[in-house]
Amino acid sequence: MQVQRTDYAIRILRHLHVCRGDIQTGAVIAKSVGITYPIFTRISNRLRTKGLLVSAQGRHDGYVLGKPAAKISVYDVFSAMEGELSHCLSADDERHGCEVHEYLNDLQNSIVAHMSHKFIADL
């Protein structure tokens, strides 16, 4: 898992939130966030695929949020960039009753819950 992408994605969405709906070019966003344009392009493609980012075409090309920042959770961004966390760490494992599995499953559920209740608008 390469959470650096998620960090950049959160920063991109936060930048757009701070811009209050103004269309921003990819170059401006990349510079503001401190990443290269090629990295921005890879991340923005994933965010667009998940509906978190919209590219505005026409006279003023650029990007805006795909939905309000108050409705984009950190977990939405994480899952867009990294994929969903599995709620069952080992579905075929016969040790479901073991303490380690239960601990890791509880830990994972706590992380998902925590990320699901923090939104881009909160950052």
Please determine, for residue 98, whether its predicted confidence score (pLDDT) is greater than 50: yes
- Would you kindly state where each structural domain of the chain is located, as residue ranges? 3-122
- How much is the average pLDDT of 89-117? 77
**Could you tell me which residue, 64 or 21, shows the higher pLDDT?**
64
Region of poorest pLDDT, from 15-19, 24-28, 36-40, 101-105? 101-105
In order of 41, 86, 89, 96, the CA distances from 93 in angstroms are 39, 14, 9, 6
CATH number of 3-122: 1.10.10.10
Q: Are 56 and 64 in contact (CB under 8 A)?
A: yes
Please determine, for residue 94, whether its predicted confidence score (pLDDT) is greater than 70: no
Strand partners, 33: none
pLDDT digits (tens, 9 = 90+) for 48-68: 999 999 998 777 789 999 999
